[in-house]
Structure 1
Amino acid sequence: MISVEFLITSLIVVLIPGTGVVYTVSMGLAQGRMAGVLAALGCTLGILPHLAATILGLAALMHASALAFQLLKYAGVAYLLYLAYATWRDRAAFSVEAMPSRTARLGIVIKAFLLNILNPKLTIFFLAFLPQFVTPGTLSPLAQLLALSAVFMLMTFAVFVVYGLLAYLFRKAVIESPRVQSWLRRVFAGAFAGLSAQLALSER
Structure 2
Amino acid sequence: MLSLDFLITSLIVVLIPGSGVILTISTALVAGKRASLFTAIGCTAGIVPHLLASVLGLSAILHTSALAFQGLAFQGLKHAGVAYLLYLAYATWRDRSAFAVDTSAPAASAGGLVLKACLLNILNPKLTIFFLAFLPQFISHDGPSPAMQMLGLSGVFMAMTFAVFVVYGLLANLFRKTVIESPQVQNWLRRSFAASFAALGLNLAFAQH
TM-score range, shorter chain: over 0.9
Q: Work out the CA distance in 2 between the residues paired with 1:103 and 1:26.
A: 14
Q: Taking structure 1 as reference, are residues 93 and 103 closer, same or farther at Cα in structure 2, changes over 3 Å only?
A: closer
Q: Taking structure 1 as reference, are residues 53 and 98 closer, same or farther at Cα in structure 2, changes over 3 Å only?
A: farther
Equivalence map 1:22-61=2 (5 Å): 22-61=22-61
Q: Work out the CA distance in 2 between the residues paired with 1:138 and 1:186.
A: 49
Structure 2: 5+ residue runs without aligned partners?
A: none
Matched to 2:57, the amino acid is G
Where does residue 151 of structure 2 map in the other structure? Answer: 146
Q: Work out the CA distance in 2 between the residues paired with 1:99 and 1:32.
A: 15
Aligned equivalent of 1:169, options 135, 149, 174: 174
Q: CA deviation at 1:166?
A: 0.7
Where does residue 107 of structure 1 map in the other structure? Answer: 112
Q: Work out the CA distance in 1 between the residues paired with 2:2 and 2:105.
A: 37
Equivalence map 1:10-89=2 (5 Å): 10-63=10-63, 64=65, 65=68, 66-67=70-71, 68-89=73-94
Q: CA deviation at 1:32?
A: 0.5
Q: How many residues align?
A: 204
* CA contact 2:35–2:108 (8 Å) conserved in 1: no
Q: Quick one: percent identity of the two aligned structures?
A: 64
* CA contact 2:79–2:205 (8 Å) conserved in 1: yes
Where does residue 187 of structure 1 map in the other structure? Answer: 192
RMSD over aligned Cα, in angstroms?
A: 1.7
Answer with 131-140 or 194-203: which moved more. Answer: 131-140
* CA contact 2:36–2:169 (8 Å) conserved in 1: yes
TM-score by length of 2: 0.92
* CA contact 1:32–1:97 (8 Å) conserved in 2: no
Q: CA deviation at 1:165?
A: 0.8
TM-score by length of 1: 0.94
* CA contact 2:77–2:123 (8 Å) conserved in 1: yes
Structure 1: 5+ residue runs without aligned partners?
A: none
